[in-house]
Amino acid sequence: MTKKHSALIVEDDELSRITLSCLLEGFAATEEAADSVSAIKKIEAKKYDMIFIDLDLERELAGLEIIVKARASGAYTIVLSGREENRYIQQAYERGCHDFLSKPFDHRALELVIGKFNIIKGQAQLADMFSYEFLTQDNNLIKQLEILAELSAHNRPVLIQGETGTGKTMLAKLIHKFAYASLGNFVHLNCSEIPENLIESELFGYEKGAFSGAEQSRRGKIDLANNGTLFLDEIGTIPLSTQKKLLKVLEEKTYYPLGSNVLSKSNFKLISATCDSLEELVAEKKFRADLYFRLEGINFYIPALRERKKDIPLLIKHFQKEFPRKVVFSSALQNFLENNNWPGNVRELKKVIELLLVKSRGIVDIVDLPGHLLPATIAATVTTTTTTLTSYSRAQEAEDNRDELLSSAIINKVESEGLAAAINEIEKKLTLYFLERNEFKVRKTLTELQISNNYFYRIKGRGFLPEGVPLED
Amino acid sequence: MSKMSKDEINRLIHDFNAELSALSQAVNLVNDKFEFDKILARRMSSLMPAKMDEILLNWEKIKELLSRDLN
């Protein structure tokens, strides 16, 4: 392991200094100071990541003064002391120490402190990541990060809730990166994408011959996540029968792969995510209450994009930057993008920006929006215009009472090209909308549209996909 | 030995325990380092007698306190 951190050990007992230095081997490059004068000199001359301070040095409680210096230097400050009286512990914390280890301390206590240090150090980086990658200025969302410091101290699972497209998977990956990456792999399973009858084999794996078609043994996600992180996305869609088995794995860390009578073990950190309300699913008896309580540990809620609209300009800029070809958005388009409600959240906004960026023109306008947004835009324009009128005609009244499905764009299309052309257009636009929403996964789109393969390819043959957009099975 | 307060007795016993643990931890490390870092193992070993002296001294104090209380 590379020594990526630096630590100063302030301790008057040489044997204890060497022992601690050995215990920190592999984690930090250590330096030693035997008294407060040399400790202060070292702290002033160099910036350390961690400083361990014995309270009693050349004189009793001399370490208290060093705590202040250590904190001011920005180091993670840990007091080591044989003193267990509350008044000394309180004084140490009041001077700013991060942790207080009572002597004698063992490996476990030290590991805990190091884990906490890693998280707190990572938090600053994580906050930056949130600014640059997760792209939010939402204080409530950023504040939730503080809870990450708790992750190292125990084995509680993480539950992420938020609407589709808000970035739950991205957050799960970030949590793994900052809290668990040193442990092992990140194994991702989107439970909603796996048919009910296959989910158990995906999770638990199977032995050769376990069921027809099982021509060879296969490891399940739970096994692959051993010593790492298992991320169960859309956990609310897991069938009840599988929920019971999953609960047993979470409680006992043991399970039987399908077709096997050999008990397997897997020790993993669990992160689950859902866009459903698990409380409601429990009330409807679609989700086991005991599993729900087991999943709840550290909870994150990612607000929908419409609840944090001030993030939209940031996100637009970010997605524009990612694209090598530069185009300009007209102010009307920019205004629309910033004020739309984005039911598909960040994912939908990203797809729309990507589609706008491949337009051939250098200045992209509101008319370049994808089909599913265009009627809403026109409707918005119509609404703006009509609010300026003072008198209502009967035609306008009929217009006001119009079914919301019949947008102005559709009516214009029927008026100009006839009903068949309009229906044709609606089919293309709805198909494109669902494809985009499903990240161009054909099978999922077919299921949602409730159409056959042939029908889909007939619509596709009329041409609606931008060039270079790859379809996935 | 002058009369010790309850706090001082607790401190004495705690120090005794901490020194024993420190010594025990050091012995384990000497064992770990013996093959790979003989210089460090020797340095640690040379510091052990002083630690044992401290332990013995504290042990004497505790023994004296106990016998005084019994008498």
A108 contact B CB<8A? no
B27 contact A CB<8A? no
pLDDT at A395: 46
B23 contact A CB<8A? yes
What is the Cα A155 distance to its own chain's centre? 19
pLDDT tens-digit series, residues B35-68: 888 888 888 999 999 999 989 998 998 888 888 7
3-state secondary structure of A342: coil
What is the Cα A24 distance to its own chain's centre? 32
B43 contact A CB<8A? yes
Rg from Cα positions in chain A: 29
Residue among B15, B20, B44 whose CB faces A15 most closely: B44
B9 contact A CB<8A? no
According to DSSP, the β-strands at A254-255 and A264-265 are: antiparallel
Domain boundary assignment for chain B: 6-70
* Pairwise CB contact (< 8 Å): A22 & B14: no
Contact call for residues A48 and A6 (beta carbons, < 8 A)? yes
End-to-end C-alpha distance for chain B, whole angstroms = 14
Q: What does the pLDDT profile of chain A (473 residues) look like in tens digits? A: 445 789 999 999 898 899 899 888 878 899 999 999 999 999 999 999 999 999 988 888 899 999 999 999 989 999 988 777 778 888 998 899 888 888 777 777 787 788 778 767 766 666 665 555 566 777 777 777 666 656 655 668 899 999 988 888 988 888 887 777 667 889 999 998 888 888 999 999 999 888 877 788 899 999 999 988 999 999 999 999 999 999 999 999 899 999 999 999 999 999 999 998 999 999 999 999 999 999 988 888 889 999 988 888 888 888 887 777 778 888 888 989 998 889 889 889 988 998 888 876 778 888 888 877 775 555 555 444 434 333 334 444 555 555 667 777 777 777 777 777 888 888 888 888 888 888 888 888 888 888 877 778 778 777 777 666 667 76
Tell me which residue has tokens 């790492």.
Answer: A228
For residue B45, what is the nearest residue in chain A, using CA coordinates? A15
Residue among B11, B29, B47 whose CB faces A22 most closely: B29
**Contacts for A192-201 with beta carbons within 8 Å, 24 or more apart?**
A192/A233, A192/A234, A192/A237, A193/A234, A193/A444, A196/A239, A199/A238, A199/A239, A199/A242, A200/A242, A200/A245, A200/A258, A201/A258
Contacts of residue B43 in chain A, CB cutoff 8 Å? 18
pLDDT at A135: 66
ipTM at complex level:
0.83
Residue among B11, B15, B25 whose CB faces A19 most closely: B25
Torsion (CA) A458, A353, A362, A471 in degrees, nearest 10: -30
Contacts of residue A82 in chain B, CB cutoff 8 Å? 11, 14-15, 18
B33 contact A CB<8A? yes
Domains, in order of start, for chain A: 5-105 (3.40.50.2300), 121-303 (3.40.50.300), 309-461 (1.10.8.60)
Contacts of residue B51 in chain A, CB cutoff 8 Å? 13, 15
**For A247, left (φ over 0), alpha (ψ -120 to 50), or beta?**
alpha
Give residues with Cβ within 8 angstroms of A118, minimum separation 6.
Answer: A152, A182
Residue among B17, B20, B22 whose CB faces A19 most closely: B22
Residue among B7, B11, B18 whose CB faces A103 most closely: B18
Q: Peptide bond preceding A466: is omega within 30 degrees of 0, i.e. cis?
A: no
DSSP B9-56: HHHHHHHHHHHHHHHHHHHHHHHHHTTT-HHHHHHHHHHHHHHHHHHH
Contacts of residue A83 in chain B, CB cutoff 8 Å? 11
Contact call for residues A171 and A136 (beta carbons, < 8 A)? no
What is the Cα A428 distance to its own chain's centre? 33
pLDDT at A456: 81
* Structure token pair of residue A457: 């390819």
